[in-house]
Amino acid sequence: MRNAKIAVIGGGIAGMIAAYDLAKAGKPVVVLEKSSQFGGRAMTVRKNGALFNLGSHALYRGGAADRIFREMGVELKGGSPSPNVSVLWNRQVISLPKFIFSRNLTWSGRIELMRMFAKLLRIDPHAGDLASTNVRAWIEQNIREPMVRNVFYGLIRTSTYTLAPDVQCVGPALEVVRRGLRRNAVLYVEGGWQSIVDQLKEKAIRAGAELLHSAGVDAIEHDGGVRKLRLSDGAEMEVERVIAAVPPAEAFRLVRDADRTSLGTWKDQARPVMAACLDLCLRRLPFPRRKVVLGIDEPVFFTNQSGPTPSLAREGSVIHVVKYRGAGDHDPKKDEAMLERVMDIVQPGWRKEVVARQFLPNMTAAFDFVHTGRQDRAPGPAVPEIRGLYVAGEWASHGELLVDSAAASGRRAAQRLLRDLRTENVAYN
C-alpha cells in the first residue's frame, strides 16, 4: 500500500492550482489524473497543423483565473478579438453600428441601448438582489424595448456560455459581460489552452507536487474522516486529505453513502452548461472582415481566433462556431447542420477552404453554474460531513463563472485544507 498525506483527484486547472498551492506551502501532495493527459477540458489537439481547443475558449482579463495565473508566473500570450463586431439577425450578417442605426432599432431603442451600456459599467453586480434574480426577470424589468432585450440576452448568453435565462442568476452574468466590454478584456491564448496547462503542470512539479497520469480512483474510503483511496489498478493509497477536483456526479460516485452528505445535494442541483461546437481551420476566409458575429435571434456565436493568435494554424485561420444549448436541447445532426448553415451565412464558400475540422456535439462548458435552483449557493470547498474531504472545479462556484470558477475553487480548496491543518495542529513533515 502506498502512502500519501494529501491527494488531489483530477489534473485539470482546478486540481493543478490546488496542488501548486499545497506544494508551495510545503505539503506533500500527489495529483491523480485518470486520463493519459493533464488539463481536462483545457486540452488542445492538433489536426492537420491546426491547434483546436475543445470548443471556443477565451480568458477574461481581470477575472479570478487571470489573476491566479499571473500570481503563479504563468505567461499569458495571445491577442484580443476584433472590436469590429457584427450581429446575426434574421439570417443576415449586419455590422453592429449599422444594426444599431437600422430600422431594427427605434430611436428610443437606440437611446435605451446606450443607456443600458452606461448603466452596466456603473452597476455593482454583487449589490442588492442581483445574486438571486434570474436573467429574464432582470432584463424584462429593466429594459423596455424588445430589440434591446434581445441584444442583452445575446450578450449574456455569449459571455457565460449559458442558455438558461429563467434560472441563471444575473449578478455573476453581468459581471462577466461588463468585464468583456472593456478594451482588450478578452484574450485568445497563443498556442491554445494547452500552453496554460503545460505551464501549470511545470509550476506544480517545481513546487514539489507529484503528478501521476493514467491513475484513476475508484473510491474514497472514509469513517467520518478520509482514510484511503482505492485506485483503478487495484492498489490502495493511504491519505488523510483529499481534494476531489472532478465533476459533482463523479465526486458523489467515489464516496460511500454520499447521498447522506452535501455531495448528494450538489450533484442533484447541478445544471450542466452545454454547447455544440464546430471548430474549423480554413485556408482563407471568404469574408475576412467578419471576425466576430454575435447571434441575436439564434443562440450562436462565430469568432476567428487566428486574427489575434496566428500561432493556432500552420496555414489559414482557426475559427469557432458555437451553439449554446438549453435544457433538453440535444440533436447532434440538427446542431451540426445549424452550425454549418451559420457558416454559410457568415462565410459563404467556406466549404472549399477546409483544412481541418472538429465537431463536438455535446461539449460541457461547466458542470454547474450560479442559478436560482441551488439549495446551497456556494458548494464547498469542504464537504462538512467528511473530515478531510474537499471539492473543486468550475461547478464549485462562489459566484465566479467558467474557468474563473475552476481556478478560484482550486485555490479555495487548498487554502481551506491548509487552514484546517493549522487549526488541528497536524504536522506534515
**Per-residue pLDDT reduced to its tens digit, 38-60:** 999 999 999 999 999 998 888 99
287-292 CB contacts, 8 Å cutoff, 24+ apart: 287/346, 287/347, 287/348, 289/84, 290/86, 290/93, 290/346, 290/347, 291/81, 291/82, 291/84, 292/81, 292/82, 292/84, 292/85, 292/86
**Per-residue pLDDT reduced to its tens digit, 238-286:** 999 999 999 999 999 999 999 999 999 999 999 999 999 999 999 999 9
Q: How many CA atoms lie within 13 A of 32 on its CB side?
A: 24
Q: What is the pLDDT of residue 428?
A: 46
Q: What is the pLDDT of residue 223?
A: 93
Q: How many CA atoms lie within 13 A of 197 on its CB side?
A: 18
Helical pair 13-24 and 64-72, crossing angle rounded to 10 deg = 40
Q: What is the pLDDT of residue 3?
A: 60
Q: What is the pLDDT of residue 56?
A: 82
Q: CA 292 to CA 145: how far, in whole Å? A: 24
Strands 317-325 and 273-282: antiparallel
Ranking 13-17, 57-61, 157-161, 241-245 by mean pLDDT, the lowest is 57-61
Q: What is the pLDDT of residue 168?
A: 96
Share the mean pLDDT of the chain: 93
Looking at the chain, the domain(s) classified CATH 1.10.405 span: 85-180
CATH fold for the domain made of 2-42+194-270+369-424: FAD/NAD(P)-binding domain (3.50.50)
Q: What is the pLDDT of residue 1?
A: 46
Which CATH class, in words, describes the domain spanning 85-180? mainly alpha
**Per-residue pLDDT reduced to its tens digit, 373-387:** 887 668 999 999 999
Residue identified by cell 505539503 is 27
**Per-residue pLDDT reduced to its tens digit, 194-229:** 999 999 999 999 999 999 999 999 999 999 899 999
Q: Mapping DSSP to helix (H, G, I), strand (E, B) and coil, where does residue 30 land?
A: strand
Find all residues with CB under 8 Å of 352, minimum gap 6, and list them.
Answer: none
Q: CA 420 to CA 146: how far, in whole Å? A: 51
- 8 Å CB contact between 321 and 359: no
**Per-residue pLDDT reduced to its tens digit, 110-127:** 999 999 999 988 888 887
Cell of 336: 451540426
Cell of 3: 502512502
Range 399-420 average pLDDT? 96
Give the percent of the chain with pLDDT over 90: 82
Cβ atoms < 10 Å from Cβ of 358: 17
Q: CA 35 to CA 264: how far, in whole Å? A: 25
Segment holding 412, helix H or strand E: helix 402-424
Looking at the chain, the domain(s) classified CATH 3.50.50.60 span: 2-42+194-270+369-424
Cβ atoms < 10 Å from Cβ of 418: 17
Q: For the whole model, what pTM was predicted?
A: 0.94
Q: What is the pLDDT of residue 171?
A: 94
Q: CA 253 to CA 255: how far, in whole Å? A: 6
Q: Mapping DSSP to helix (H, G, I), strand (E, B) and coil, where does residue 39 land?
A: coil
Q: What is the pLDDT of residue 376?
A: 63
Range 49-74 average pLDDT? 93
Helical pair 135-142 and 170-180, crossing angle rounded to 10 deg = 70
